[in-house]
Structure 1
Amino acid sequence: MAKKHSPYFQDFVAMADFSVQAAEYLQVVLEGFEVHRLAECRDAMHAIEHAEDEVKHDMMRRLAKEFVTPIDREDIIQLANDLDTVTDKIDDILIRVYMYNISQVRPAALAMADVILRCCKALHTAIVEFPNFHKSQTLTQAIIAVNTLEEEGDALYIAAVHELYLEGGNPIEVAAWSELFDRLEDCCDACEHVADALETVVMKNS
């Protein structure tokens, strides 16, 4: 792999930064949940997602004009799309909390939000180390951490949905939370997809 200081690697880090920001904001909103601020919080989250989109669009415009890239063009596109998906999935949580008019947050959602944040931070570490993969032990450890956290997220998701249906209650509320737990788990899956893509690119260039 050449050109360790290529702007593409810097763009990947910037996109991972936005994922961490989104995950941090999700945790803040859910922990200090206020129904009357949902629309405001939804818009603030979407602003983070939009800022990341701008980084991705700039990257794609640059890529369209360049013939020589530090890694395969297809891998740049794949990583950019996968990183973008992470923040999109987090953004989607607050959109749906607003759509479903959620009035209070279940403890399992807070636990899952914590895992999402830790996943995004581990992914950020991996992205920062990505250009130095030939000599970086940290990259491998970060990829493993993302995979481990995704498994933790799966376990929380299964337990949360089981408890939800065990309790029963209002069918509309059950349906809404079942969907929200699905979407929270999707965030962890999205992080794992980036980690898997990173691992594939590293193997191709080793």
Structure 2
Amino acid sequence: MSRNPGHALIARIFDRVLPKAPDFFHMLATQSAKVAETAELLVRFMQTNSAELAAQINADEHAADDIKVANIHILNEAFSTPIDREDIYRAITNLDEIVNYCKDTVNEMAALEVEPDRFTQGMAELLLVGASALRKGFGRLGKHTAAASDDAEVARKAERAIDYLYRDALAALFQGDNYIQMFKKREIYRHLTNAAERMAHCASTLHDIVVKMV
């Protein structure tokens, strides 16, 4: 039996009126870890052109979408949030889009019969660098928040490096005369740069969160 039933009653009433906020830091850390896992699969796919790895990436996309839907539902139902609600929403949706573009990349490579090359592999490797930085950065929130700013910068630099590599890829691509192949490969390169752009959006959101918290 409680020694102070009055206090227990007040606590129960308080919890109903002002329920505890969900652990959004853990949610974002978990979601960003899933993104990094998919990026790692993409690198392995670019090294092997494995249909099995492509299937794993598609499965990852479905799992990532479930995470996004669940996180947005929790956000919509939350009475309060430890950080800006819009920042949480932007992080959730942009993290999911990275995985979507990874899936689109491998699916269209199969549909268009495009094999990996040094540019797709290089962009995938840089995407993994950025995604790993986001995983580390979102994992620091609430514990070592200020340090997450450095992780956001690593992800930004990875996005810029992908953009430079994309330009190199186009320059090399349009030197030939196989125009059908040119447009096929350009489509694949664009999916990878789209993933990188979403990664940069995540990095900006992470940096905004850090600035508001420290």
**TM-score in same-fold range (> 0.5):** yes
Aligned to 1:184: 192
Unpaired runs of at least 5, structure 2 = 1-20
Aligned to 1:81: 93
Per-residue CA distance 1:1-59 (angstroms, 9 max, x = gap) = xxxx952111111111111111111111110125xx3xx44332111011111122222
Q: Retained in 2: the 8 A contact 1:53–1:84? A: yes
Q: Retained in 2: the 8 A contact 1:146–1:191? A: yes
Per-residue CA distance 1:76-116 (angstroms, 9 max, x = gap) = 211111111111111111111112122x3221111111111
Per-residue CA distance 1:135-191 (angstroms, 9 max, x = gap) = x33x1211111111111111111101100001x132111101011111111222111
TM-score, normalising length from structure 2?
0.83
Q: Retained in 2: the 8 A contact 1:52–1:84? A: yes
Instruction: Give the 5 Å matches for 1:29-68.
Output: 29-34=45-50, 37=51, 40-68=52-80
- Pairwise CA distance, 1:133: 5.3
Report the RMSD for the aligned CA atoms in angstroms: 1.8
Instruction: Give the 5 Å matches for 1:107-118.
Output: 107-118=118-129
Q: Distance in 1 between matches of 2:178 and 2:188?
A: 15
- Show structure 1 runs of 4+ deviating over 6 A: none
Question: What SS does structure 2 have at the residue aligned with 1:98?
Answer: helix
Q: Retained in 2: the 8 A contact 1:41–1:94? A: no
Q: Retained in 1: the 8 A contact 2:28–2:92? A: yes
> In terms of Rg, which structure is larger?
2
Q: Retained in 1: the 8 A contact 2:46–2:117? A: no
Question: What SS does structure 2 have at the residue aligned with 1:121?
Answer: helix
Q: Distance in 2 between matches of 1:154 and 1:78?
A: 22
Aligned to 1:7: 23
Aligned to 2:149: 140
Instruction: Give the 5 Å matches for 1:186-201.
Output: 186-201=194-209
Q: Distance in 1 between matches of 2:139 and 2:29?
A: 6
TM-score, normalising length from structure 1?
0.86
Q: Distance in 2 between matches of 1:122 and 1:6?
A: 24
Aligned to 1:28: 44
